[in-house]
Chains A and B, each alone.
Chain A
């Protein structure tokens, strides 16, 4: 069957090339329909429990998940007429920005406060009248610091920083709004410094930059790979064919994805790079073809013989890659599923091209051109490299016990490293330490209560349960408990409001900053608040029937791990201080990020493990032998174990980019092993001399493997210059994966084969 396909391609090369072009045009034709979705949040479906519950909490307490924080700081202190005027001005301009939820923007100039005056109370926005005189400024300072709910939220303890909290519509683009806000503050200008932070900015900026960098680095990697290919094969047609196969698979799979109506998500935006990596598999065909052509000196025969000997390993290496990626679809995360399935499709396209397009191109190439290229290759590097590889092959045999021992030590060491792995995700840390987002976040977290936000919702069945003095005291105590965590900057609840009103109604006497004794008193204070404050101030912390209360917890870190600790703290507290009528449930963006971390990351890890098992099964099936299957699985396993071990040892968080990366190793390391083992077995069948066959395999198909690895490492090395840390990680680790998997295949595998030769059988089919 396969023979017939490439046989046909060899007979009708021009027809094949034409058909390929037509197919490519068809898929390219889908591209204008492209829809882009840069929000990592959408990795979890809208029906996922955390999104459903977060939406419910937002609805119950009139909250908005996406809030941008604009910090404004002045070294001389912000309580001066000029700065306050600017705050009012900026707030006014921000309110006009489309996508901003006007009624809930909180700043010194929109937030209401109850102020104690000689003849009563005064209710007004804090910045209703901008204080001009020294006395007025003094009063302003006192008002701010007298209200604990304002300190650390609207004014830093040192008085140098304030913040405007800007909730945005769920459909709005955080980056676009942030850009408009940047323009506003630029017009208002210095001496104040402005800091923009918040999850929507990080998320949307990351999404946007990711697409930009993908667009920038995919072609650069492609170019570098072209140059490397040319240096290896000295022939432009071959370079073109190799890159052509990559492009065709990218166009076909992206075209299909777009045509089927899927949005291009941050996950699928990585498809081109992955497919480029997988398509380097065709290098093996050219590599073998060069050897064959030199031997038989007839192009047609060389092509057919090449295809005969290489068809099977190409088939199985692409098949295992495809199955590996397709098995990502076993997970629950939709964009990961889509990504896995379409990369699998792209891999099949590469396989198809290897049988059709590649031989067709080889057929239409001029023999003279090939000969010229061969000559150049011969004189330049072939002897050096092949000689070097042959030496390497014999070395791995003679020193095999040392190699096996070193490898065993490495693996044990790595397994210890793996046990130290810390699964965590922190989107802000995906930006470089010097980036504006990282710096703003750091400054605001230092000066104010924290840019990340979690909620703990007290949920009871009883109307007016929250108005009970005992409930409020419980909430108050829990807040103090949560504040024990150094990364918790501030907590706010209905208890704080009640205490503040109590104090204000009693001549601002700090003695009354306590929860009142009677339920009616609390109810009437809350009623006073409803009569004087913005309704949402209260709605944000209690629900309508006063069944539920919401504790706001501001966090100084976006680490998913912090939220885990807080949840444990609440569990421990409620266990030691039972409150039978109610329970506490976490919510908010910090909680969302934690669940995202757990589900998406663990989802990817478990899909990845599933695909490992599947690939192993496939290898065993391919060789019809358990032992050979396990053997060719070893380079992949070694690579992954060592990479993960390193992640553990250097203390890098196991995050999203690392987990994406591990799936890529699936596509590479296994290919190397399949080519090696298949070709070795072919050779052994022709000339059953174990050591000679191994050295031959290291020298000849091994050259293809080395070329593939170098090509790839080079292509990805460019990414080390990216501005997002995940790309730098990918760049560095990719080079490592290439080095490790090629070494594992070329050195470790021969040593293993010789060592276990007695228990391995060499005479099966294939």
Chain B
């Protein structure tokens, strides 16, 4: 009898083991490309549209700060596809009323427009440099609006826990030469949000780090509400807080126009 009990236990363990391997196989079944694509859509395309008050703190090595206080409106036109952004700056005080609009295209360079209130001028800015700094912060334009997954080659390095969360650790190497030569991302297995990213420069040295510091559930969408980008080499960092985040609020297409650049839509930016 004893033997049978042991036999059953062994069998049960075997079955459990098989189920467990199968379960982990199912997530293993995701290719690194699929993981990164899922991260891209979950992080940059949440909701059909989004409205948020964004507080950025730029801190230099010596601890001196500059503030960026803006309202951002974003509208998706296809999941993983074109997007439009509208930004209104509340602070610094002397740039108040400055507005900035980006049409992000999936197959060509962005279009950007800037309204300069002091001289009442809207300028179209053609910038083919996605790697330049976003309003002087440590984030590049690409960090703000996302990098297309098929621009890099991805490898799943390992799976590991980060702050108690199971993560995929994916290495992405740009196909064309870029400001950085390698990016390693810690992507949460359950919600596909990037919890940490490390960037390596041309000397193959770790120089920039992204960290998600606070996540909140907003209308059923898990959102990174506090994030920081740190430049390891310069000691400069940018802390970003997303406040008053709302999804699927029904932002109209007309908002993203030169007319509203000059006369910001008060109902959206308050």
Do A and B come together as binding partners? yes
Contact present for A95 and B203 (CB under 8 Å): yes
Whole-angstrom CA separation of A680 from B135 in the bound complex? 85
Q: Give the complex CA separation of A97 and B205 in angstroms.
A: 11
Q: Mark B145-186, 1 if CB is under 8 A from A, else 0.
A: 000000000000000000000000000000001000000000
- Distance A293 CA – B123 CA, assembled complex (angstroms): 101
Q: A213 in the interface, Cβ–Cβ < 8 Å?
A: no
Contacting pair A128 B62 (CB below 8 A): no
How near does chain B come to A696, taking the closest CB pair, in angstroms? Answer: 74
Contacts of A527 in B (CB 8 A): 89, 92, 95, 98, 135
Q: Are B94 and A464 in contact (CB under 8 A)?
A: yes
Determine whether the beta carbon of B64 is less than 8 Å from that of A544: yes
User: Is the CB–CB distance between B94 and A103 below 8 Å?
Assistant: no
Q: Of B61, B94, B114, B231, which one neighbours A531 at CB under 8 angstroms?
A: B114
Given known contacts A518-B118, A528-B114, A98 and B203 CB-to-CB distance under 8 angstroms: yes
Residues of chain A within 8 A of B263, CB atoms compared: none
**What is the chain B residue whose CB lies nearest that of A539?**
B60
B107 touches A (CB below 8 Å): no
CB within 8 Å for A520 and B94 given contacts A101-B233, A123-B125, A531-B114 = yes
Q: How far is A179 from B92 in the complex, measured between Cα atoms in Å?
A: 46
**Contact flag A534-B203 (CB < 8 Å), given A122-B125, A122-B127, A527-B95:** no
When distances are taken between beta carbons in the complex, the residues of chain B under 8 Å from A545 are 64, 66
Q: Are B132 and A534 in contact, CB atoms less than 8 angstroms apart?
A: yes
| A102 lies within 8 A of B127 (CB) | no
* Contacting residue for B62 out of A60, A96, A530, CB 8 A: A60
Does A188 make an interface contact (CB < 8 A)? no
Binds B, one of A113-121, A623-631, A651-659: A113-121
Bound: A545/B63 CA distance, A: 11
Contact call B136/A538, Cβ cutoff below 8 A: yes
- Across-interface contacts of A119 in B (CB, < 8 A): 124, 126
Is B61 in contact with A59, judged by CB distance below 8 angstroms?
yes
Question: Could you tell me the distance in whole angstroms from the C-beta of A67 to the nearest C-beta in chain B?
Answer: 16
CB distance from A124 to the nearest CB of B (A): 5
Let me know if B128 and A124 touch, CB within 8 A.
yes
B62 close to A59 (CB less than 8 A): yes
Q: List chain B residues, Cβ under 8 A from A112.
A: 129, 132
Contact present for A524 and B94 (CB under 8 Å): yes
Which B101-120 residues sit within 8 Å CB-CB of chain A? 113-114, 116-119
User: A62's contact among B118, B121, B207, B234, by CB below 8 Å, is which?
Assistant: B234
Query: Provided the pairs A103-B233, A521-B119, A524-B98 are in contact, do residues A530 and B128 lie with their beta carbons within 8 angstroms?
Result: no
Which residues of A lie under 8 Å from residue B123 when comparing CB positions?
A: 120-121, 505
Question: Once the chains bind, are B119 and A505 in contact (CB under 8 Å)?
Answer: yes
A516 CB contacts on chain B under 8 angstroms: 118
In the assembled complex, B202 has its CB within 8 A of some CB on chain A: yes
Instruction: State A92–B233 Cα separation when bound (angstroms).
Output: 19
Task: Name A124's contact: one of B60, B94, B119, B129 (CB within 8 Å).
Answer: B129
Hey, which chain A residues are within 8 Å of B244, CB to CB? none
Whose C-beta in chain B lies nearest to the C-beta of A169? B233
Complex Cα–Cα for A528 and B58 (A)? 16
Provide the residues of chain B in CB contact with A124, threshold 8 Å: 127-129
A98 vs B205: C-alpha distance when bound (angstroms):
9
Choice from A97, A523, A535, A539 contacting B95 with Cβ under 8 Å: A523
Please name all residues of chain A whose beta carbon is closer than 8 Å to the beta carbon of B117 when the two chains form the complex: 520, 524
Chain A 503-514 interface mask (CB, 8 Å, partner B; 1/0)? 001000000000
A299 within 8 A of B: no
1/0 contact trace for B9-23 toward A, CB 8 Å? 000000000000000
| Minimum distance in angstroms from B134 CB to a CB of chain A | 8
Which chain B positions have C-beta within 8 A of A98? 203
Cα of A464 to Cα of B66 in the assembled complex, Å: 11
Let me know if B64 and A535 touch, CB within 8 A. no
Please give me the residue from chain A that is nearest to B233 by CB atom: A103
Query: Is there a chain A Cβ closer than 8 Å to B100's Cβ?
Result: yes
* A102, A520, A544: the one within 8 Å of B118 (CB): A520
Instruction: Determine if A128 and B128 form an interchain contact, defined as CB atoms under 8 angstroms apart.
Output: yes
- A residues near B34, Cβ cutoff 8 Å: none
In the assembled complex, A543 has its CB within 8 A of some CB on chain B: yes
Residues of A within 8 A of B214 (CB): none
Which residues of B lie under 8 Å from residue A419 when comparing CB positions?
none
Chain A nearest Cβ from B112, distance in angstroms: 9
Instruction: Judge whether B191 is part of the interface by a CB distance below 8 angstroms.
Output: no
CA gap between A117 and B231 in the complex, in Å: 33
Most chain B C-beta atoms within 10 Å of own C-beta, residue among A101, A112, A117, A531? A531
Which residues of chain B are near A525, meaning CB under 8 Å?
Answer: 116
> Contact between A532 and B92 (Cβ–Cβ < 8 Å)?
no
Nearest CB to that of B134 among chain A residues? A531
Residues of B within 8 A of A538 (CB): 136
Q: How far is the CB of A164 from chain B (nearest CB, A)?
A: 15
Give Cα A699 to B215, complex, Å: 97
Partner of B66 from A101, A122, A467, A544 at Cβ < 8 Å: A544
Complex interface: chain B residues within 8 A of A535 (CB): 133, 136-137
User: Please, what's the 1-or-0 string for A47-84, where 1 marks a CB less than 8 Å from any CB in chain B?
Assistant: 00000000000011010000000000000000000000
Q: Mark B46-68, 1 if CB is under 8 A from A, else 0.
A: 00000000000010111011100
- Give B54 Cβ to nearest chain A Cβ, in Å: 15
Q: Out of B116, B136, B231, B234, name the residue touching A530 (CB < 8 Å).
A: B136
Which residue on chain A has the smallest CB distance to residue B96?
A: A520
Asked if A131 is at the interface of the complex by the 8 Å CB criterion, the answer is no
Closest-by-CB residue of B relative to A517 is B118
A117 CA to B127 CA in the complex, in Å? 12
Given A123-B127, A527-B98: A534 touches B201 (CB 8 Å cut-off)? no
- In the complex, what residues of A have CB within 8 A of residue B95's CB? 520, 523-524, 527
> Closest residue of chain B to A98, judged by CB?
B203
Q: What is the distance, in angstroms, from B203's C-beta to the closest C-beta of chain A?
A: 6
Q: How far is the CA of A125 from the CA of B100 in the complex (A)?
A: 21
Residue of A nearest to B202 (CB): A95
Contact among B61, B98, B129 with A125 in the assembled complex (CB-CB below 8 Å):
B129
- Alpha-carbon distance between A518 and B119 when the two chains are bound, in angstroms: 10
Answer yes or no: A292 CB below 8 A from chain B CBs. Answer: no
Determine whether the beta carbon of B203 is less than 8 Å from that of A521. no
Interface contact A532-B132, CB-CB below 8 Å:
yes
What is the bound-complex CA distance between A139 and B134, given in angstroms?
A: 27
How far apart sit A5 and B135, CA to CA, in the bound complex (Å)?
A: 80
The verdict on A685 contacting chain B, using a C-beta distance below 8 Å, is: no
Measured CB to CB, the nearest residue on chain B to A115 is B126
Contact B124 A505 (CB under 8 A): no
Contact B125 A532 (CB under 8 A): yes
Say how far B164's CB is from chain A's closest CB, in angstroms: 34
Whole-angstrom CA separation of A98 from B116 in the bound complex: 41
Query: In whole Å, how far is A115's beta carbon from the nearest beta carbon of chain B?
Result: 9
CA distance A556 to B233 in the complex (A): 31
Known contacts being A103-B233, A523-B92, A531-B135, is A62 close to B128, with CB within 8 Å? no
Chain A residues whose CB sits within 8 angstroms of the CB of B137 once the complex forms: 535
CA distance A613 to B248 in the complex (A): 88
**Considering residues B61, B94, B129, B203, which has the most beta carbons from chain A within 10 angstroms of its beta carbon?**
B94
- Which residues of A are found within 8 Å of B133, using beta-carbon distances? 530, 534-535
A634, chain B: closest CB distance, angstroms:
58
Within 8 A of A (CB), among B52-98: 58, 60-62, 64-66, 89, 92, 94-95, 98
30 CB contacts below 8 A, A to B, read A60-B62, A92-B177, A102-B201, A102-B233, A103-B233, A117-B126, A120-B113, A120-B123, A120-B126, A121-B124, A121-B126, A123-B127, A123-B129, A124-B128, A125-B129, A467-B94, A505-B123, A524-B95, A524-B98, A524-B117, A527-B89, A527-B92, A527-B98, A528-B114, A528-B116, A530-B133, A538-B136, A539-B60, A544-B60, A545-B64
**Sample of 11 more A-B contacts, CB < 8 Å, known A122-B125, A523-B118:** A62-B60, A97-B203, A100-B203, A112-B129, A122-B128, A123-B126, A520-B94, A523-B92, A531-B114, A532-B127, A539-B60
Nearest first, the 9 closest Cβ-Cβ pairs linking A and B are: A120-B124, A530-B136, A544-B64, A523-B94, A521-B118, A520-B118, A123-B127, A95-B202, A122-B126
